[in-house]
Amino acid sequence: MTMTTPLAQAATTAAATANTGATAWAARIEHVSKSFPGPAGQQLVLDDISLDIAPGEFITLLGASGCGKSTLLNLVAGLDRPTAGSVTTDGRPALMFQEHALFPWLTAGRNIELALRLRGVPRGRRRERAEELLELVRLKGVHGKRVHELSGGMRQRVALARALAQDSRLLLMDEPFAALDAITRDVLHDELTRVWAETGVSVLFVTHNVREAVRLAQRVVLLSSRPGRIARQWTVGIPQPRRIEDAAVAKLSAEITEELRGEIRRHGRH
């Protein structure tokens, strides 16, 4: 079912679920290309990307700057349309940014309740569900706190709870821990692994940190730069819970880093 014209995501989604009930993938990216107008005509940013994300799968998308990781994520999120190929998702994916993107005019709990409200959860259920989600990210008791009263790590956990409030089968994360200090980031890796295991959500996680990619993922996808193509994929067999300093994590990270450096070197040769 290769489509050369992008369809409205909602329509595609409805069709996918209506025909088959539950799909065998959380997202299907088929021969996706994307170009933007540049100084020298159309600049190709993504070139023929095909990737299936299985239900419950954790994929990290790795690449150097300018490989179009974020562009690809925006396409999957439905915030932008591919130039060619198609993206099909099972429902609207949830999206987490590098900035927490919580709304400062609402309390932490109300941020989550807004997500529930926009999804059509009735008023009576929202408060209870928001408390459950806060408990899931271990922030019981911060429902009434303002965003600016929370620490960086707490904000990202509230943002995670808000993303989970959408009850999507797919969670997209755009370098969500890049702005955090190393200790907090480490803790949030553990936290995300735990939440992922508890909820069974599929995750597509963009990062430029190789160790982070190996620490978290079942599958690491390396993108080449300009244009972004899938260069190589690794299945990570190391059992969870992993630590970022584990020898097995370090070994695979070294291998992937070598590959990534090779990709980057290619660009300096011309």
Partner 1 sequence: MAATDTAPRADDGDLAGLEAGLDALEASPTVRTPLRRLLTDKMLPPVLALTLVLAVWQALVSFRMVDDPARLPAPADVWYVLHDAWLQGTLLGYIWTSVSRGLLGFLLALALGTPLGLLVARVRFLRAAVRPVLSGLQSLPSVAWVPPAVIWLGLNNRMMYAVVLLGAVPSIANGLVSGIDQVPPLYLRAGRTLGATGLKGTWHITLPAALPGYVAGLKQGWAFSWRSLMAAEIIASSPDLGIGLGQLLEYGRNASDMAMVFEAIVLVLTVGVAIDLLVFSPLERRVLRSRGLLVKG
**According to CB under 8 A, which one of 34, 143, 162, 169 is a site residue for partner 1?**
162
Binding flag, residue 101, partner 1 (CB under 8 A): yes
Binding flag, residue 60, partner 1 (CB under 8 A): no
Residue 59, Cβ neighbours under 10 Å: how many? 24
Name 172's bridge partners.
95, 204
Count of alpha carbons within 13 angstroms of residue 216, beta-carbon side: 35
**According to CB under 8 A, which one of 45, 77, 210, 252 is a site residue for partner 1?**
77
Binding flag, residue 132, partner 1 (CB under 8 A): no
How many of the chain's residues bind partner 1 (CB under 8 A)? 46
Binding flag, residue 22, partner 1 (CB under 8 A): no
Question: How near is the Cβ of 206 to partner 1 at its closest, in Å?
Answer: 15
Binding flag, residue 230, partner 1 (CB under 8 A): no
Q: What angle do CA 28, 172, 158 make, to 5 degrees?
A: 155
Q: How far is CA 187 from the centre of its chain?
A: 18
Binding flag, residue 190, partner 1 (CB under 8 A): yes
Among residues 73, 80, 89, the alpha carbon closest in space to that of 207 is found at 73
- Is residue 116 exposed (0-12), middle (13-18) or buried (19+ Cβ within 10 Å)? buried
Q: Which is nearer to partner 1, 64 or 216 (CB)?
A: 216
- Is residue 152 exposed (0-12), middle (13-18) or buried (19+ Cβ within 10 Å)? middle
What does the binding site for partner 1 look like in residue numbers (CB under 8 A)?
Answer: 56, 58, 77, 79, 92-95, 97, 99, 101, 103-106, 114-115, 118-119, 138-139, 146-154, 162, 166, 183-184, 187, 190-191, 193-194, 196-197, 200, 218, 239-241
